[in-house]
């Protein structure tokens, strides 16, 4: 960080969280290169979002100074927020249209997991094929994961509105030939949802490649899956993700 590109002082903890979450996505293989972004709603009309800087190296190397505060139109929401050559993502409308239309959401993740793309293109939907292996992921899949059928860059409000319509009130949507969008109340939850969908997509590819058939978990087994609680499903799971990066919280 240089004097030409100072890190704004406000929302420091939130910037740290988003930066770590970007690194988690990359470490998990959901955003291997320079594509993908995470945002967090701060007020009704502003959000922190992972921006591309003048020395862009990809999500695996995201730092807090890469997280910038902008309004729903992509304009800087405070002095210096888009200084030093920083620009908002081309697909910022993907985030902002969700915030405009879904008041229940505070965080949005957009990533390009190759397994999710491959499974969808192979005609494999995200289904509850496992049980205790991943209880939150199984419940997420059991309620359905919709697909936005256009493999386009979601760079304007019209395309973003189409994606939101396809998503409905679900927390995640697969984008054909593109990746996924995951949304939740917290950054951590949105990332963990994306990881679960990626794992389920990978398992589906492995099962079908081995000649097997995808079978949903029986209702009786689904009813036996316990709710381990947010402290475990979210808190412990997120500490694990940070530990994989060599970070502690």
Domains of the chain and any CATH numbers:
12-244 (3.40.225.10)
**Confidence band of 249 (pLDDT split at 50, 70, 90):** low
Integer Cα distance of 115 and 93 in angstroms: 25
Integer Cα distance of 140 and 148 in angstroms: 17
Which of 104, 135, 127, 119 lies closest to 226 in space, CA to CA? 135
Cβ distance 141 to 198 under 8 Å?
no
DSSP string covering 159-203, please?
Answer: HHHHHHHHHTT-SEEEETTTEEEEEESSHHHHHHHHHHHHHHHHH
pLDDT confidence of residue 232: 74
pLDDT confidence of residue 33: 86
Q: What is the mean pLDDT of the chain?
A: 93
Q: Does 91 participate in catalysis according to the annotation?
A: yes
Residue 15 half-sphere exposure toward CB, CA atoms < 13 A: 17
The string of pLDDT tens digits covering residues 187-236 is 999 999 999 999 999 999 999 999 999 999 999 999 999 887 777 778 89
Average pLDDT over residues 142-164: 97
Active-site annotation holder among 16, 44, 56, 91: 91
The DSSP output letter for 235 is: I
Query: Between β-strands 37-43 and 147-148, what pairing exists: parallel, antiparallel or unpaired?
Result: unpaired
Chain centre to alpha carbon of residue 80 = 26
Predicted TM-score (pTM) of this structure:
0.93
The string of pLDDT tens digits covering residues 67-113 is 999 999 999 999 989 988 999 999 999 999 999 999 999 999 999 99
pLDDT confidence of residue 9: 64
The string of pLDDT tens digits covering residues 44-67 is 999 999 999 998 999 999 999 999
Integer Cα distance of 106 and 86 in angstroms: 23
pLDDT confidence of residue 233: 74
Question: What percent of the chain lies above the pLDDT cut of 70?
Answer: 95
Measured in degrees and rounded to the nearest 5, phi and psi for residue 40 equal: -140, 125
SS3 of 22-61:
HHHHHHCCCCCCCCCEEEEEEECCEEEEECECCCCCCHHH
């Amino acid at each position: 960080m240089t004097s030409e590109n100072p890190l704004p002082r406000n929302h420091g903890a939130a910037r740290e969280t988003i930066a770590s979450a970007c690194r988690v996505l990359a470490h998990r293989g959901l955003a291997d290169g320079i594509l993908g972004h995470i945002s967090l709603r701060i007020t009704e009309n502003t959000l922190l979002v992972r921006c591309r800087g003048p020395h862009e190296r990809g999500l695996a190397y995201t730092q807090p100074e890469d997280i910038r505060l902008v309004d729903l139109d992509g304009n800087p929401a405070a002095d210096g927020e888009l200084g030093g050559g920083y620009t908002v993502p081309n697909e910022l409308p993907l985030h902002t249209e969700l915030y405009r239309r879904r008041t229940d959401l505070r965080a949005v993740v957009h990533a390009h997991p190759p397994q999710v793309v491959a499974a969808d293109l192979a005609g494999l939907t995200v289904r509850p094929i496992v049980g205790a292996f991943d209880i939150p992921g199984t419940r997420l899949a059991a309620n359905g994961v919709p697909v936005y059928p256009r493999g386009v860059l979601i760079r304007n409000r019209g395309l973003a509105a189409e994606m939101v319509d396809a998503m409905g009130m679900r927390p995640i949507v697969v984008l054909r030939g593109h990746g996924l969008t995951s949304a939740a109340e917290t950054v951590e939850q949105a990332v963990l949802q994306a990881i679960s969908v990626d794992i389920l997509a990978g398992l589906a590819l492995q099962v079908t490649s081995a000649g097997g058939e995808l079978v949903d978990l029986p209702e009786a087994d689904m009813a036996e899956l316990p709710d381990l609680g947010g402290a475990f499903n979210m808190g412990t799971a997120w500490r694990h993700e940070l530990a994989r990066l060599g970070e502690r919280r």
